[in-house]
Amino acid sequence: MTPYRELAPPADLLPVVACLWEHEAPPGHEQRIIPDGCVDLIRLDGELVVVGADTGPVVSAAGVAPAPSRTSGIRLRPGAAGAVLGIPASEVRDQRVPLTEVWPDVGPALADALDAADPAGRLDLLARTVLRRKAQRDGLVAAAARRLGEPGARISGVAGDLGVSERHLHRRTVDAVGYGPKMLGRVARLRRLIGLSSGRPTSHSSGAPAALADRAAAAGYASQAHMSDEVRRLTGLTPVRFLEDATLTAA
């Protein structure tokens, strides 16, 4: 298998799940995780954990095990975590929390079932567990996330277009995503930059990467310096280094 691959979720889960995924890290592998507005349920080193929405880069330590380590996960779309978890998503922001603490009623049995399943069975178990929650993505927050993803979007304008106050939008977004609209907008801008740099066609690009300053402007940054500061804060790397091999993941 490839080191990291994403699979489409079952149709019933499309409103709340961005993807199922697997990652097989070779020995000595170091992984960098950047904010994407999502919350993941992950079976990691035999433990089932909730990985809250990150506000900065997370770099996993290089493993010392002689064999590759396999990780399985399910990624909740921005705005779905609060309903799926049954708690405000802000309670797991920037944290790795054992699922048994969030779902004490089903977490232990699910962890045991995952231990006994093969890789494909683990993804199926995670999907069926989320499906049984019968959760709905917060429609207001989902709409805000889409609008904040547009270059030049302002929180005041997005809130006004959606017919709510900025304070109301902030509260709903913190509960559903884990952080407020300002951070969500920063994440959206970074994802636009990745899309403009990866050669993957987006609504703002036909595919060929432009000069860095042009990509900064197209992504919605005030200047190239602004972009550099933001990329360093969210990824821990310079834009040149980060964009060398950055790829968009499902969100």
Residue with tokens 């349920």: 41
Output Rg (C-alpha) for the chain, integer angstroms.
18
CA distance 127 to 143: 24
H/E run at residue 48:
strand 47-51
CA distance 146 to 158: 10
Structure token digits, residue 172: 């709903």
Closest Cα to residue 181, out of 154, 220, 161? 154
What three-state secondary structure class fits 22?
A: strand
The pLDDT, as a whole number, for residue 204 is 52
The pLDDT, as a whole number, for residue 191 is 95
| CATH architecture designation of domain 139-245 | Orthogonal Bundle (1.10)
Residue with tokens 């944290």: 95
Per-residue pLDDT of the chain (251 residues; tens, 9 = 90+): 558 899 999 999 999 999 999 988 777 777 889 999 999 999 988 889 999 999 999 997 655 555 667 889 999 999 999 999 999 999 999 999 999 999 999 988 998 999 899 989 999 999 999 999 999 999 999 999 999 988 889 999 999 999 999 999 999 999 999 999 999 999 999 999 999 998 655 555 555 668 999 999 999 999 999 999 999 999 999 999 999 988 889 88
H/E run at residue 5:
strand 4-7
Domain ranges, ordered by start, for the chain = 4-133, 139-245
Closest Cα to residue 144, out of 131, 125, 160, 132? 160
Handedness of CA 94, 97, 99, 104 (dihedral sign): negative
Closest Cα to residue 235, out of 180, 184, 190, 181? 190
Structure token digits, residue 153: 């979007």
CA distance 236 to 214: 22
Residue range 114-172, pLDDT digits in tens: 989 998 999 999 999 999 999 999 999 999 999 998 888 999 999 999 999 999 999 99
